[in-house]
Amino acid sequence: MFVSRAHVPESLRPDDYRQWPYSVPAVAEVVERGVEFTHPVTFLVGDNGSGKSTLVEAIAEGFKLDARGGRAARKAGNANPSKTALGEVLRLETTAKGARMLAGPRLKKKGFFLRAETAFSMTENLGGVPGYWEENTAEMSHGEGFLAVFRSMFRAPGFYVMDEPESALSFTACLQLVSLMHELGRSGAQVICATHSPILASTPGADIVEVGEHGLRRTKWDDLALVTHWRRYLDNPSAYLRHITDA
């Protein structure tokens, strides 16, 4: 483990929680109480707009990963110096191992931030670039490219943050990612992943934090609202479709 907690110091908390992103219940809870990480693999599971992506982006920034997606952020002047509103104030409590990594040379840092919004362009532009992956991912499907990135960049004990990595993956590809994350956790790596995939959230041994109007709550996979809805839908699609179609 590299990071044990994310929090916002009292001196940096906003005066007005009505302004985004502090108006989002999950973000407000992290600002007020923080969130602890107790397992090598943690999932933030929630619907669109629940705040899970806002949280993982700020966590990636806190570990000095490139907020646009990628490896350790480059020095100011070469990278976009701006941070997200939450990233400006969020602080990480690190383990001894995490502190050593952050204090070391940038090129020695083992970490990666994969965000769905920018991953497609990365697969098209970074194949063959030293320090990245050898495959020409520009000639692959998006799903194949994502898997090539995972295999190359998520293979050593390090700090890995993912934002909805399932966006380009099929059912079987999601299962491959589950296997990879499980092995990463066993190898000494730490993974924090925002998702709305019941497949990824089923990774054995993972800590699941459900994100929503309630804020944050730890739960079991079987008790996730996401899992309940998918089960009901697959069992009887018409029970949902009749409310949104004329069928």
Residue 202 has pLDDT above 50, yes or no: yes
Least confident among 54-58, 99-103, 134-138: 134-138
Q: Categorize the per-residue pLDDT at 78 as very low, low, confident or very high, splitting at 50, 70 and 90.
A: very low
Contact 41, 205 (CB under 8 A): yes
Edge to edge, the sheet with strand 3-7 lists 35-36, 3-7, 91-94
| The CATH number of domain 3-241 is 3.40.50.300 | no
Q: Categorize the per-residue pLDDT at 244 as very low, low, confident or very high, splitting at 50, 70 and 90.
A: confident
The domains of the chain are located at 3-241
Q: Categorize the per-residue pLDDT at 73 as very low, low, confident or very high, splitting at 50, 70 and 90.
A: low
- The token pair at 103 is 């204090």
What pLDDT shows up at residue 72?
65
Q: What is the pLDDT of residues 81-94, one digit of tens each?
A: 568 899 999 999 99
